Structure 1
Amino acid sequence: MTIIGRPADWPATEAEALAVQDALRGRVVLDEPGPPPGAGLVTGVDVAYDDERDLVAAAAVVLDAATLDVVERATAVGRVAFPYVPGLLAFREIPAVLAALGRLTAGPGLVVCDGYGQAHPRRFGLASHLGVLTGLPVIGVAKNPFAFAYRPPEARRGATSPLLADGEEVGRALCTRAGVKPVFVSAGHRVDLDHAVAHTLRLSPRYRLPETTRHADALCRQALKEAVA
């Protein structure tokens, strides 16, 4: 298996990464609806780490948005591209994620990240960063609310409540299953928040997490296990 190295022009310091975020953030598009929920293809991306070996495995899994059947899978394994710094996790993951996406022959259509877009201290999480670099419509669906305030939504499927930063709505807590804790949805690029929520609900017919995330999570863990075997 080929191990991807860090790109030659990739930021090496926190200051350099912050400058990249500042330069790219103005290119985020938030006033497009994106593709209709349930139409075309949708791709989940996720990563798994082996910190002892300095490796990150990325997976991209393409689903038929109507049936949620798997259309294609791709993986890539690379060196961790950046130190762990809260708010800059995208710099650790994006090279491997881009490599996995680049190995797809189908889609990818809408991309769903296990992470954040606008629900980020500088409004430029992984979903926004990946969207700007690729030009694709991307949303973020996270398991935890990061540092933002919210009131739990009603415990019924489809209920939402705003995720707030200084009074600004940066995402929504979404109940995908009755009686189960919410997921945290934010717009990334070329998809507005209302449609990001609609996509997430459509992709989560049975479980708390979207099918895109469930498939990508399992595949990246498998790829990492095989890489270190």
Structure 2
Amino acid sequence: MVLLKYPSLELVEYKVARIATTMPYIPGFLSFREYPALLAAWEQLSQKPDLLFVDGHGISHPRRLGVASHFGLLVDVPTIGVAKKRLCGKFEPLSAEPGALSPLMDKGEQLAWYSAV
């Protein structure tokens, strides 16, 4: 877990936790496999952040509760899920211009924004 100061992005603290997993990887249930290690690293931090970016889905998840949302609820801190692949919903193709946005929609609900970086 990396704690950075904003806006300088200066490193404040870095913690690692290794926990033996007892649950196999099951698509859509990553948080149950990952949160024990996340929580162990969280508990090592000398100061807690105001916002978390989590490597995984937040509400853009079929159950609207990906690892980012799940962990945020456990530690009572707002989270932003940063996922590598889309699990649900659709979006319109993006233009190649920096800053282009397209809403990720699922069943009439906007879940996230896709952007061209």
Structure-1-length-normalised TM-score = 0.49
Specify the alignment match of 1:41 in structure 2: none
Q: Which has the higher helix share?
A: 1
1:106 aligns with 2:47: yes
Out of 81, 93, 106, which is 1:152 matched to? 93
Q: Distance in 2 between matches of 1:98 and 1:175?
A: 32
Q: Distance in 2 between matches of 1:68 and 1:119?
A: 26
Whichever residue aligns with residue 71 of structure 2, its letter is L
Which ranges in structure 2 are unaligned for 5 or more consecutive residues?
none
Secondary structure of the 2:17 match is strand
Q: Distance in 1 between matches of 2:98 and 2:85?
A: 18
Aligned pairs, number: 117
CA contact (8 A) 2:62 2:87 kept: no
Say if 1:102 and 1:88 are closer, same or farther in 2 by CA, change over 3 A. Answer: same
Out of 66, 75, 82, which is 2:7 matched to? 66
Give how far 1:108 is off: 2.0
Q: Distance in 2 between matches of 1:147 and 1:124?
A: 12
Specify the alignment match of 1:127 in structure 2: 68
Structure-2-length-normalised TM-score = 0.92
Give how far 1:157 is off: 2.3
Alignment of 1:6-155 (within 5 A): 60-155=1-96
Could you say what the CA RMSD is over the residues aligned between the two structures, in angstroms? 1.3
Which ranges in structure 1 are unaligned for 5 or more consecutive residues?
1-59, 177-229
1:173 aligns with 2:104: no
Q: Distance in 2 between matches of 1:158 and 1:105?
A: 36
CA contact (8 A) 1:81 1:91 kept: no
